[in-house]
Structure 1
């Protein structure tokens, strides 16, 4: 397929949906309803990456609908998963519940029916705030109501064959000895300690023994109980190596993305789905994990979590959607310091969409407009919002603690950035104010400049740091640039990029005076 070929609205989302449709037509399956799925982990605090799985699946749903097909997103909470470790910041008292399904663990904060629902609710709240529509399903109900019983039966009938294939595909030999099914021990409520070793086909029961097992490099004591569990009604769950396949077949799933960290599980599940359950696995796309600014994977248990709720204290829901819809491939370092540039980038996309910024490249224009539409969940506004540079708002918010909204609004009016006060701007000031209060400095932006520009920057820093304040900073900047062979308009642009992360802004002299000349000098000196 040609890279230059444009599908739908020109984004990777449209291309994925097109590939999915072509595959489904080749398979000859019904196109009446195309279900996409996202798995929601319920064992740790949901972060931006957890949200991303569901948001991207929803994008594919929207693209399928845009192509004229009915689609829906299943948001599946794996709340029968066992607790492997206590997330950072949670009570140590949870230690006694290690290896129990998270839906059977009490909510340590007492606001939900279980620990699992507490975690799921955080993620669902994030999806709701972003306008994502989904059908919520829980593992606990799915297994309790026997929705996977036929798939479990078939998988356990073929457990020897599956165990050999798992060993061949990923080198894991565990399931050559045990069944790929974990009953919940009826004596101690633990999941991973109860290892099933025999399937009684006629009775649809597994025999198991609860014994010591290693979880996250820690030995967990089993209670020694010998038991039987009915796969149609007793609590238990399939191992990850086969469970996706069972869900895909039972729910008729046609698309599911997956993270790089579960590649092996997906490889095995695809084979199980195809060869054991006779259900062609869904169309996939693999995405890289988000990393923190230190290059570590963002993890629920490590405590370096960037949650959607925290993000929305500083940025709009659309800034998260933009982050997730921009692209899907490649690992990305992520932190709250990315919010200012994403807030400004959304404004730029909106200007392109409404024709305020001209884009000569047709493919780029289509893609930019398409991205803007997906960030607005294919329901773009009829007219653009009022734009104010987010970094400018942060700098102004730092100046005022008392009556911040009114005083920042007045500055915006004085600068001529806005014509009238507006509730939209009040909300932006609130977000930028939260950001200013939480973080000392903004992310350093990339600025292209030659040696002569750096020399002029050095002279400006000296002037701003001088004992006597220049009478007219605007004119001082102009004269320093002109006297040293740098075009003033180019130099002003460099300063705007350093201070505001954009190529233009309010009159620079008064802005520097308001921010504080020595503070600006310190910022500028970092670029020399």
Structure 2
């Protein structure tokens, strides 16, 4: 981490950004405890393939960790442990595996004892899913340590804590039993033995718990009375006691989890405290929803995977999605991607003009660990006359549509005509955005477009717009084009808005119906990029040709033919 600017540290003490709010609580906790190292933890259940929610937990925790480092000026070492509960039994076969029948004989075995159905070098289902998680976390450059529950249980890392749990068995049961129904109370035990005959995780009552010997006695699946040590990976804890035991054993200071854990958090805390350690600080975030408003789930496979997001947008846009409003439920589906991609660019472009107070409230500061990259300027003209243009995801998708090309070189031809000094080499983020826009347009936008013909008023308006564009120089700026389009609309009663700010009878405002007509007739959508910016890049002659195609009905007929061909397969 770079040297700390005093103004940065001062602003951090007062920042309202949620990572700093959590970090300040953690500073107070550490000052009270006197600990010399802070442990952040995230949990992962590898019962299904990792999804974006898993990534989000690590990303958000890393943001709090970085805020803590700034507040303490790196005086207190920190660690981030990503813990996988891979000793949990596979209670059901998740959707999306290649061969469900292959896994059925291994139900209820620890995930790291279930064979790997995906092929490759990983020995078990749990190992495969753990490797996927690590691969994605490494892609994002997280500073973390990976921990496997199987390794920790079997290696003895948890032995002392498990002996302590046996000593506190009655107190743990007193916490757990009131949370269960009568039938479950009769069979419940915080200890889950691993059957020495079948290898399965058993949910059975204990016949005896001998804390002095460190053993449990139970009836195995064949009815045989069996005694096992609680150490060495012969047993694991139920998931609620396991939370508290892990916090106690490792000395966890901070862990965040989803709202579905919120009602159980007091149970985790009590068990940690019974074992002899203070519970960590928590942060509860809202759950992600799929396109129909249902909670995303690893086992269901609904929502988005990390690979899917990265097919259509950058890593930074995903990090922004995770940073923004973590305590609000958010839909996590394909239609959120373009907005996240454009918002990231907007925040990045504004960062360098901000003071420390506003920088610490800017998501890019947290996304990039305090060191955001320089924005890529796209400007036409030179010197004081240069005009910067925000090349957005939406603008590029419309450029793909009207250019009728999915070739990056074709799109770069338009971009370089507008700003000759830029190239894929000088603007790699823009080059990546062009590729993302092409892919997203092909998969989601083009099939959903809905071009319509202009009505009589709109036809007259578009003819007037065409004439006004024809009177402009071909290198007219985005602002000039935007103003020209506004002037055309001001002369048409349908689009006049006298209630607009600063509107007068001689110079009325322009209603959104004008832009909606442009987007629906020319682009086949209800909304789109700033018209002036689009025309400045696409070109005035090309835009006039697009208007002519729309008025001739060609855009409607061409898209209808595309839809018909697509339906025919």
What TM-score do you get using the length of structure 2 for normalisation?
A: 0.76
Once the 2 structures are TM-superposed, how far is the Cα of residue 376 of structure 1 from its aligned partner?
1.1
Q: For 2:126 and 2:490, locate their aligned partners in 1 and report how far apart those are by CA, in whole Å.
A: 61
Unmatched runs of 5 consecutive residues or more in structure 2:
1-10, 379-389, 470-480, 498-507, 520-524, 558-569
Contact in 2 for aligned 1:499/1:520 (Cα 8 Å): no
Match of 2:371 among 363, 366, 379: 379
Q: Which residue of 1 aligns with 2:477?
A: none
Contact in 1 for aligned 2:303/2:332 (Cα 8 Å): no
Q: Which residue of 2 aligns with 1:92?
A: 100
SS of residue matched to 1:256: strand
Once the 2 structures are TM-superposed, how far is the Cα of residue 263 of structure 1 from its aligned partner?
2.4
Name which one, 1 or 2, has greater alpha-carbon Rg.
2
Q: For 1:106 and 1:383, locate their aligned partners in 2 and report how far apart those are by CA, in whole Å.
A: 47
Once the 2 structures are TM-superposed, how far is the Cα of residue 413 of structure 1 from its aligned partner?
2.7
Structure 1 residues 513 and 140: alpha-carbon distance in aligned structure 2, compared to 1, 3 A threshold: farther
SS of residue matched to 1:303: coil
TM-superposition CA deviations, 1:172-193 (whole Å, max 9, x none): 8745643201121111111134
Contact in 1 for aligned 2:193/2:234 (Cα 8 Å): yes
Q: Which residue of 1 aligns with 2:111?
A: 102
Once the 2 structures are TM-superposed, how far is the Cα of residue 153 of structure 1 from its aligned partner?
1.5
Q: Which residue of 2 aligns with 1:162?
A: 172
Contact in 1 for aligned 2:461/2:488 (Cα 8 Å): no
TM-superposition CA deviations, 1:307-349 (whole Å, max 9, x none): 1111001110001110111222121112121111111111111
Q: Which residue of 2 aligns with 1:440?
A: 445
Structure 1 residues 12 and 422: alpha-carbon distance in aligned structure 2, compared to 1, 3 A threshold: same
Aligned residue runs from structure 1 range 382-397, under 5 A: 382=374, 384=376, 388-397=391-400
Q: For 2:414 and 2:406, locate their aligned partners in 1 and report how far apart those are by CA, in whole Å.
A: 13
Match of 1:45 among 46, 49, 52: 49
1:36 aligns with 2:40: yes
Structure 1 residues 138 and 288: alpha-carbon distance in aligned structure 2, compared to 1, 3 A threshold: same
Structure 1 residues 235 and 398: alpha-carbon distance in aligned structure 2, compared to 1, 3 A threshold: farther
1:58 aligns with 2:58: no
Q: Which residue of 2 aligns with 1:216?
A: none
Once the 2 structures are TM-superposed, how far is the Cα of residue 261 of structure 1 from its aligned partner?
1.2
Aligned residue runs from structure 1 range 441-456, under 5 A: none
Once the 2 structures are TM-superposed, how far is the Cα of residue 9 of structure 1 from its aligned partner?
4.9
1:75 aligns with 2:82: yes
Once the 2 structures are TM-superposed, how far is the Cα of residue 511 of structure 1 from its aligned partner?
4.9
Structure 1 residues 73 and 501: alpha-carbon distance in aligned structure 2, compared to 1, 3 A threshold: farther
Q: For 1:186 and 1:460, locate their aligned partners in 2 and report how far apart those are by CA, in whole Å.
A: 81
Contact in 1 for aligned 2:156/2:233 (Cα 8 Å): no
Match of 2:534 among 491, 496, 506: 506
Unmatched runs of 5 consecutive residues or more in structure 1:
212-222, 445-456, 523-528
Q: Which residue of 2 aligns with 1:307?
A: 305
Contact in 2 for aligned 1:166/1:172 (Cα 8 Å): no
SS of residue matched to 1:284: strand
Q: For 1:89 and 1:459, locate their aligned partners in 2 and report how far apart those are by CA, in whole Å.
A: 52
Once the 2 structures are TM-superposed, how far is the Cα of residue 169 of structure 1 from its aligned partner?
5.1
Structure 1 residues 61 and 368: alpha-carbon distance in aligned structure 2, compared to 1, 3 A threshold: closer
TM-superposition CA deviations, 1:137-191 (whole Å, max 9, x none): 1001000011111211122222222222223356687456432011211111111
Match of 1:135 among 145, 150, 173: 145
Contact in 1 for aligned 2:256/2:284 (Cα 8 Å): yes
TM-superposition CA deviations, 1:15-42 (whole Å, max 9, x none): 101011112323x231x21110000111
Q: For 1:399 and 1:434, locate their aligned partners in 2 and report how far apart those are by CA, in whole Å.
A: 15
Once the 2 structures are TM-superposed, how far is the Cα of residue 470 of structure 1 from its aligned partner?
5.8
TM-superposition CA deviations, 1:82-133 (whole Å, max 9, x none): 1122222212122222211111111101221210121122222221222211
Structure 1 residues 145 and 404: alpha-carbon distance in aligned structure 2, compared to 1, 3 A threshold: same
Structure 1 residues 469 and 135: alpha-carbon distance in aligned structure 2, compared to 1, 3 A threshold: same
Q: Which residue of 1 aligns with 2:6?
A: none
Alignment RMSD (CA, Å): 3.4
Aligned residue runs from structure 1 range 412-427, under 5 A: 412-414=415-417, 416=418, 419-423=421-425, 424=428, 425-427=430-432
Q: Which residue of 2 aligns with 1:238?
A: 237
